[in-house]
Amino acid sequence: MNIPAPLKLYHAVAPREWMDYNGHMMDGYYLVAFAFATDALLQYLGFGEAYRAQTGCTIYTVEAHINFLREVKEGDPLTYHTLLLGADAKRLHIFHTMQHAHDGTVLATTEQMWLHVNQRTGRVEPMPEEHRQRVEAVVAAHAALPRPAQVGRRIAMPGA
């Protein structure tokens, strides 16, 4: 299987209704924008709507960190690069980078931890072997890529 590294699964244009009175994208819409990239990744990995309907299981985001690096303005063409940083039987660790599609400027990043959840029981459980193998293949394809500087960051006050 030929796996792109990084994955480039989603492109969009920043809509007017996501802009604030300063003329740039409101904070909350960065996560909305990343959610569309997430949906594209979940489809690619086989965890889309059909998977949920068939198995009763889905992927939940349990932690997300966003870095706002540059302003996004109305009409900006956006492209998303995605890395699958790690996974085990029940978790996926992902990283999305939002870039300006024309000049490649990195606008924002998000690092997220996801869980494989059975919606019928509300419990975290192992993903099916077929899906886990696909996830592990993507992790392996991305393992040699440099880790973005924002991976593993935490919020802290220096000296506090």
Q: What is the pLDDT of residues 4-49, one digit of tens each?
A: 999 999 999 999 999 999 999 999 999 999 999 999 999 999 999 9
Residues in a beta bridge with 79 = 11, 99
Tokens representing residue 124 in the block? 């975290």
pTM: 0.94
CA distance 4 to 9: 10
What pLDDT was estimated at residue 158?
A: 85
- Once rounded to an integer, what is the mean pLDDT over residues 89-115? 98
Where b means 16+ CB within 10 Å and e means fewer, 68-78 reads eeeebeeebeb
The percent of residues in the chain predicted with pLDDT above 90, rounded, is 94
Residue 122 has pLDDT above 90, yes or no: yes
| Of the candidates 137, 149, 87, 138, the residue with the CA atom closest to the CA atom of residue 113 | 87
